[in-house]
Amino acid sequence: MELVPNNTLICASPEDGRRLALGLAMQTSFAIQPDDHVQKIIRDAYMNNPDGLIAAGHVVAIEFATIAAANNYWR
């Protein structure tokens, strides 16, 4: 499993960075819980729980902040 695609956080644009952040968050989830059946159970649980959705969004936001810093905030 490739956890950081092409072994870099460098992206052409903030949109690409956001897409990468989402992908990294999902890969982290898969790496932590590789069982597809358990992932479905967990996904069903947080999908209907506002706190779970907020927590998942927070993980993506942290990934995006890291990617933005690595890209010098696209300056």
**Residue 65 Cα distances to 9, 25, 31, 42, 43, angstroms:** 11, 12, 21, 25, 24
| Domain annotation covers residue 2 | no
Enter the pTM of the model.
Answer: 0.82
Give the integer Cα–Cα distance in Å for 62 and 31.
17
| Domain annotation covers residue 68 | yes
| Domain annotation covers residue 5 | no
Per-residue pLDDT for 39 more than 90? no
For the residues 5-26, what does the mean pLDDT come to?
94
Q: For 23-35, what is each residue's pLDDT tens digit?
A: 999 888 888 888 8
Number of domains making up the chain: 1
Q: What is the pLDDT of residue 41?
A: 84
Q: Which domain holds residue 44?
A: 11-74
Give the integer Cα–Cα distance in Å for 50 and 14.
26
Burial class (CB in 10 A: 0-12, 13-18, 19+), 70: middle
| Domain annotation covers residue 1 | no
Q: What is the pLDDT of residue 56?
A: 86
